[in-house]
Amino acid sequence: MPTLDPSGYLWVASLGGLTLFWMFIIAPKFVPMLSRGLHGAESPPLTFVDHVTLRISSLLMFVVAIIMGIMLFEVIMRYVFARPTIWVEELSRWLGGVIFLVAGLYAMQQRTHIRVTIVYDIINRNAQRVMDALGTACICTFCWAVSWGYWENAMRKFSTWELYGSAWNPPIPAIMKPLICIVCVWMSIQAINNLIVDWRRDAPLAPPEDV
């Protein structure tokens, strides 16, 4: 991991500050996922875990717009100014990876992961609770196995700050590999949270209408 000089600390601190400012002050007023109920009128109160997932998503959802923007920049630089950039392709790859991983957490919080509910819909509520518990066990097994098996490699890449080995050379392996482990662990936490929230309800939470 690279060492930071004082101005580097200032950068990191101000970026972190801005992120928190967005997540706690601005986003709750303007971002629909935070300012409105998620499941219509019968929206359950959000737990701490839901809050973390939603606040992170309320920031990272803009990544798609950023990717769109930098790609337009690249096309303009290439054709109008004949000066193609070296960083757009790699930055978009990097940001894309982040969104692919974190979007899964948001989808989990919203209960929109693709599942077949033909049997689930016709059995009684207690059997549904058992099925939910089994499903959560599957999710946790998968997520923990991935983080467990990948942790050592990911930590090595992080501590040696492995770079991508390209022209612009961003630290993609050093960041993305640990991120996979972190997202997987949080995915299992979100799944357990969903299980607890749904367990107490008389009817399972349906995904939002506009999927």
Partner 1 sequence: MGIAELSLLLVLGIIILLAIGVPLGFASGFLGVLVAYWKLGDRGFFILGQRMYDLTIEHALLAVPLFIFMAMLLERSNIAKDMYDSMSVWMSRTKGGIAIVTSVMAMIMAAMSGIIGGEIVLLGLVALPQMLRLNYDKHLACGTICAAGSLGTMIPPSIVLIIYGVVTETSIHSLFKAAIIPGLLLGFSYIVYISIRAHLRPQDAPLPELDFEVTLRDKIIALKGLLPPMLLVGAILGSIYGGITGITEAAAIGCIGTLLLITLRGEMSMSLFMEALQRTMRSTGTIMWVTFGATALAGAYSLAGGPTFIAGLILGLDVPPMGIILVMMVIFLFLGALLDWIGIVLLVMPVFLPIVAGMDPADIGLLGNLSPSHVSVWFGILFCINMQVSFLSPPFGPAAFYLKSVAPPDISLADIFKGFLPFIGIQILVLMVMMMFPEITTLLLH
Q: Which positions touch partner 1 (CB under 8 A)?
A: 30-33, 57, 60-62, 64-65, 67-68, 71-72, 74-75, 79, 89, 92-94, 96-97, 99-108, 110, 112-120, 131-132, 134-135, 138-139, 141-142, 145-150, 153-154, 172-173, 176-177, 180-181, 208-211
Looking at beta carbons only, is 7 or 29 nearer to partner 1? Answer: 29
CA 170 from centroid of its chain's CA atoms: 20
Closest distance to partner 1 from the beta carbon of 32 (Å):
5
Looking at beta carbons only, is 44 or 142 nearer to partner 1? Answer: 142
Looking at beta carbons only, is 3 or 25 nearer to partner 1? Answer: 25
Closest distance to partner 1 from the beta carbon of 42 (Å):
18
Looking at beta carbons only, is 5 or 209 nearer to partner 1? Answer: 209
Closest distance to partner 1 from the beta carbon of 84 (Å):
12
